[in-house]
Amino acid sequence: MSHINWEEYKASGFYDELIAADGKPRPEAVRLCQYLANLDARELQEHKTAAEVAIQLMGITFTVYTEGTMIDRAWPFDIVPRIIPLQEWQKTEAGLKQRVQALNMFIDDLYHDQKIIKDGIFPRELLTHSVNFRPQCVGIKTPHNVWAHICGSDLVRDKDGVLYVLEDNLRVPSGVSYMLENRNVTKRVMPELFASGQIQPVDDYTSQLYDMLASMSPRPGDDPSIVILTPGIYNSAYYEHAYLAQQMGVQLVEGSDLVVGDDDCVYMRMVDGLARVDVIYRRVDDMFLDPEVFNPESALGCRGLMRAWRKGNVALANAPGAGVADDKVVYAFVPKIIKYYLDQEALLPNVPSYLCMFEDDRNYVLDNLDKLVVKPANESGGYGMMIGPHVSKKERKKFAELIKADPRNYMAQPTLALSTSPTLIDHGMESRHVDLRPFILSGESTFVTTGGLTRVALTKGSLVVNSSQGGGSKDTWIVDVDGLGDQPGHSQRAGN
């Protein structure tokens, strides 16, 4: 590893999160870039090693299950944070709140009056074909009329520098524990940079989560019994389930720990006997929640859970059926959904999406196959994905036929040039593609994490940020640029 010279850093034509097109650090990244440039090769290596040791010591892992053996892998982490200026983040935060509020109103409407369908905004046939719509949930009243209490939305920045929402995860989004642990690791490795107080803290999440879950309790009183329901140790996010339980001081339960009584209330089996459960933060998919209603083979859930929920004796976060709003078709409608329920324009742009079921869209897609990514529009149909610019003419022709034969099963989006961020690899600093997953909590009020989890594709040129496929993550800093002022001198001192 060699000493860092930012002038040699190349973002190769993509928008870079830290370094502007002129090769100079962006204002919010000046301090960090100076700090890093002041480290010699040995110090840089020490920083990297310190992070690895911290991760091992803190036991931050994710689970990979292959060939019958469970492997706990150390969490892949890059010490160079990704930085977003506070002002931009505040706009993003407002956009996320608006989006999730509208999505929750949409879900609640679908399970009650379906006004949006009656008013001709959302086609009924799309609902009929949705694999995530749960007829079992029709008519159910949820606390605060919210269904997706915890949402993780994936944001990407295109070459124009604009942050787009790529998708909303409304079922059981994961990653928030790594966002929190990344900050802990960074604080251990580069404590000097936190001294000025310009980096906004992230550690409020678990108490916000606790308060939100508590606010859902069906029983009055200020000490509700909250549990996290995990599928168990073989789940890839088990570390996170245990982490959140530990941080909130609540029980981590498995389906077999729960039982629903004659009174349609949920209890957990304790050493002292049975104890009533008020709120379940479930990290088990809908279909495995209750063998009485969903998959009868499921051993991950609890028989009678839906009965108890329907009667209002227990609160579930996220509500079963919330996933109806996170498929690709609904995604295309989000700007209209925001307009319909809130009478506002969407603050955060969607990636333009073309649904082939509509004639205009279909014609556009067929004319521009070489520029578009074609995807199956819902999980039940479609035959894989086609990245237009990367495939042969013959392949495009094949997809044109498929689309014409069954237009409802296909949608298309332009290919995005994902932004990059400087990443420390074995021999120095190189650019790698990143995305961002903020988490949004919706209860009585709405809370957005400060930044989110930045995932990075560690392989050169790769766009795959998934940790099981060579992805890693970075700490995400929301920085108050206006407060920077007299920093260079401070940074010099910190580097020595």
Could you tell me if 134 and 415 are in contact, meaning their C-beta atoms sit under 8 angstroms apart?
no
Residue identified by tokens 């988490």 is 439
Copy the structure tokens of residue 37. 């440039």
Of 70 and 94, nearer to other proteins (C-beta) is 70
The neighbouring-strand residues paired with 62 are: 73
Find residue 267's DSSP bridge partners. Answer: 259, 276
Q: Which residue, 52 or 72, has its beta carbon nearer to other proteins?
A: 72
Comparing CB distances to other proteins, the nearer of 39 and 260 is: 260
Least separation in angstroms between residue 373's CB and other proteins is 39
Q: Report the nearest approach of other proteins to the CB of residue 69 (Å).
A: 12
Nearer to other proteins, 35 or 238 (CB): 238
Q: How far is the CB of 141 from other proteins (least distance, A)?
A: 24
- Residue 483 CA to residue 195 CA, distance in Å, equals 13
CB of 7 to other proteins, least distance (A): 43
Q: 69 or 392: whose CB is closer to other proteins?
A: 69
| 317, two tokens | 């976060």
C-alpha distances out from residue 62 to 53, 72, 451, Å:
16, 6, 21
Residue 21 is encoded by which pair of tokens?
Answer: 């097109």
CA dist list (Å): 54 to 39, 182, 273: 20, 10, 40
Shortest approach of other proteins to residue 231 CB, angstroms? 12
**Least distance in angstroms from the C-beta of 280 to other proteins:** 14
Q: How far is the CB of 461 from other proteins (least distance, A)?
A: 35
Q: Counting Cβ atoms within 10 Å, is residue 484 exposed (0-12), middle (13-18) or buried (19+)?
A: middle
10 Å CB burial of residue 68 (0-12, 13-18, 19+) is exposed
Residue 470 CB burial class (10 angstroms; 0-12, 13-18, ≥19): middle
Among 444, 445, 449, 442, smallest CA distance to 147 is for: 442
Pick 72 or 430: Cβ nearer other proteins: 72
> Residues 80, 432: contact at Cβ < 8 Å?
no
Cα-based distances in Å from 424 to 16, 34, 181, 234, 475:
15, 15, 19, 31, 13
Binding site for other proteins (CB under 8 A): 57-59, 72, 225, 232-233, 238, 242-243, 245-246, 249-254, 256-257, 259-263, 265, 267-276
Q: Which is nearer to other proteins, 71 or 94 (CB)?
A: 71
Q: Are strands 163-169 and 150-157 parallel, antiparallel or unpaired?
A: antiparallel
Q: Residue 271 or residue 405: which is nearer to other proteins going by CB?
A: 271
Nearer to other proteins, 232 or 352 (CB): 232
Cα 230 to Cα 238: distance, rounded to the nearest angstrom: 7
Shortest Cβ 227–other proteins spacing (Å): 9
Give the integer Cα–Cα distance in Å for 155 and 166: 6
When the beta carbons of 272 and 360 are compared against other proteins, the nearer one is 272
Of 234 and 466, which CB lies nearer to other proteins in the complex structure?
Answer: 234
CB of 76 vs other proteins, minimal distance in Å: 19
Judge contact between 358 and 336, C-beta under 8 A: no
* Beta carbon of residue 332, minimum distance to other proteins (angstroms, whole number): 40
Q: Taking a C-beta distance cutoff of 8 angstroms, is the pair 339, 345 a contact?
A: yes
Strand-strand pairing, 372-376 and 163-169: unpaired
Provide, rounded to whole angstroms, the least separation between the CB of residue 253 and other proteins.
6
